[in-house]
Chains A and B, each alone.
Chain A
Amino acid sequence: MIQKAFILNDADIERILKRISHEILERNRGSKNLCFIGIQKRGVPLAQRIAKNIRALEGIEADIGKLDITFYRDDYAKRVKPKVGVTDISFGIDERDIILVDDVLFTGRTIRAALDALIDFGRPKSIQLVVLIDRGHRELPIRADYVGKNIPTALSESIEVCLSETDGQDSVSILESGKGRGQQLL
């Protein structure tokens, strides 16, 4: 797998997350009813970072959850099974405005599964989607409410997102081959 282009460094990612944090507050007129749920695994640190930004801006400690969607996938039989992560939503989501966070938006199937999973926990007032990267190639009618960066890609390429919490450093790159991590995670 060859790195084709380096897209974002740590400072870029920090700026993007700050901008998205402001957008979330603007659109929801504050943060009182918000809670943040990251999709395993790189959505989790991203959700934590956004919640931290919002705490700095508004002084409100928001609920943060983790969601693993393995059991809700429609393609588990066709893929090498990824390691199942932890789901931890220790607060009620009824009537809350959920900010759902993931690293890469691709076919939309992960988000479809995440919506199904969330509905099993209750009936939120709204679910809004944050993605760091939108790489296109949607197979379902799903779009993000907050996008860090749109990166048009070929199907043979994949997006690699690294975060310091999971990978030791912050970066986003395009890889050639179609066998990259971004591809596997859809």
Chain B
Amino acid sequence: MLSVKNVIDIADLSVDDINLILENADTFNEVLERDLKKVPALRGKTILNLFFESSTRTRISFELAAKRLNADLINFTASSSSMKKGESIIDTIKTIQSMIVDLLIVRHSDSGVMDFISRNTGLPIINAGDGKHQHPTQALLDLYTIKKAFGDFKGLKVSIVGDIINSRVARSDMLLFKKMGMDVTLVSSSMLLPENLDYFGVNVRNNIDDIIETADVIYMLRMQLERQERKYYPSINEYNRFLSLDFKRLQSMKEGAIVMHPGPVNRGTEISEAVMNSEDTMKQKIKINEQVRNGVAARMALIYLILTTG
């Protein structure tokens, strides 16, 4: 049983909650390997995907997770809704409430909106990404991917590389990874680092070569050009020199070490074309597609546990 009904901030979850989610993700992973990839666990439950910001993979992942559990799912995207016609948030909420749903999955640029919706509807909420703040389910699927690769977390050396300041994934990941006993290093230039890093208790490096041979997990972030209202980095060449994963760097990673990325990858910026196209043993290091797959299992676990708690 989970200790919470809402997952807005990854810090809301206790270590017991996290282990329970991972355990259940394993069970659902087995369901996804069956010919008939569906269990009737949430038959009769209704889930609303409420997306005020655009998303493809997260929305589809949640949609698939809900459907594999036999829940009914409705998609509400702000761009095609009455919000465009000028409906206010509170009126949208009242509309949602009249629809009698059991769970909301919300993406909005402002995390305060989720608290607001939760307080006004009394419905459980899962944060599907809020601006630059948090993306808790991405962190859970990342953790699950690491668990499948290493079995345990204690003492694992994880480096998160790239555009930290604009990344909600980085924020949720470092909080979660630290909580599970991993040793977290951020690799970035000072322009791309947030200010209050003491709060997170992480190490900082400026060159990916400093960690490439010792890290167990190298987590490459996407250069978030769409969130950069100013230019954070002088040139792609400069970025490539200090912060990108090219084939030579991939080869110098230690045995068993893995590469992760939340997607979508900017080929040639954070990860080189050659790395994305690598084969055999080098390819096995790259877990980007496995992350997507694990995302469905992890989200099934979270949805299932929230809807069967209390």
Residue numbers of A with Cβ under 8 A of B are 68, 70-72, 76-77, 80-81, 83-84, 86-88, 116-117, 120-122
Contacts and interface: CB of A to CB of B under 8 A. Distances in A.
A72 B24 contact: no
B308 A76 contact: yes
Given A76-B41, A120-B34, 11 more contacts: A72-B41, A77-B308, A83-B23, A84-B23, A87-B27, A87-B30, A88-B30, A117-B39, A120-B36, A120-B38, A121-B36
Interface string B279-310: 00000000000000000000000001000100
A83 B38 CA distance: 19
A73 B59 CA distance: 28
A67 to B, nearest CB: 11
Name A's interface SS. Answer: loop
Contacts of B27: 68, 84, 86-87
Q: Is the interface of B mostly helix, strand, loop or mixed?
A: loop
Contact of A116 (B30, B31, B34, B40): B40
Contacts of B41: 70-72, 76
Given A80-B1, A81-B308, A86 B35 contact: no
Contacts of B23: 83-84
Nearest to B40: A72
Given A80-B1, A81-B1, A86 B30 contact: yes
Interface residues of B, number: 16
Nearest to A73: B41
Contacts of B40: 71-72, 116
Contacts of B1: 80-81
Top 5 nearest A-B pairs (CB, nearest first) are A71-B41, A71-B39, A120-B36, A84-B27, A76-B308
A77 B308 CA distance: 6
20 contacts: A71-B31, A71-B41, A71-B304, A72-B40, A72-B41, A77-B308, A80-B1, A81-B1, A81-B308, A83-B23, A84-B23, A84-B24, A86-B27, A87-B27, A87-B31, A120-B34, A120-B39, A121-B35, A121-B36, A122-B35
Contacts of B30: 86-88
Contacts of B31: 71, 87
A121 B34 contact: yes
Contacts of A117: 39
Contacts of A71: 31, 39-41, 69, 304
Nearest to B309: A81
A76 B24 CA distance: 15
A148 B236 CA distance: 73
Contacts of A122: 35
Interface string B14-44: 0000000001100100110011101111000
B21 to A, nearest CB: 12
A70 B24 CA distance: 11
Contacts of A68: 27
Nearest to A84: B27
A95 to B, nearest CB: 15
Contacts of B38: 120
Given A80-B1, A84-B24, A86-B27, A72 B39 contact: yes
A96 to B, nearest CB: 15
Contacts of A81: 1, 308
A88 B24 CA distance: 15
A70 to B, nearest CB: 8
A88 B29 CA distance: 12
A40 to B, nearest CB: 11
B177 to A, nearest CB: 25
B301 to A, nearest CB: 10
A125 B30 CA distance: 24
A120 to B, nearest CB: 5
Contacts of B24: 84
Nearest to B301: A84
Contacts of A76: 41, 308
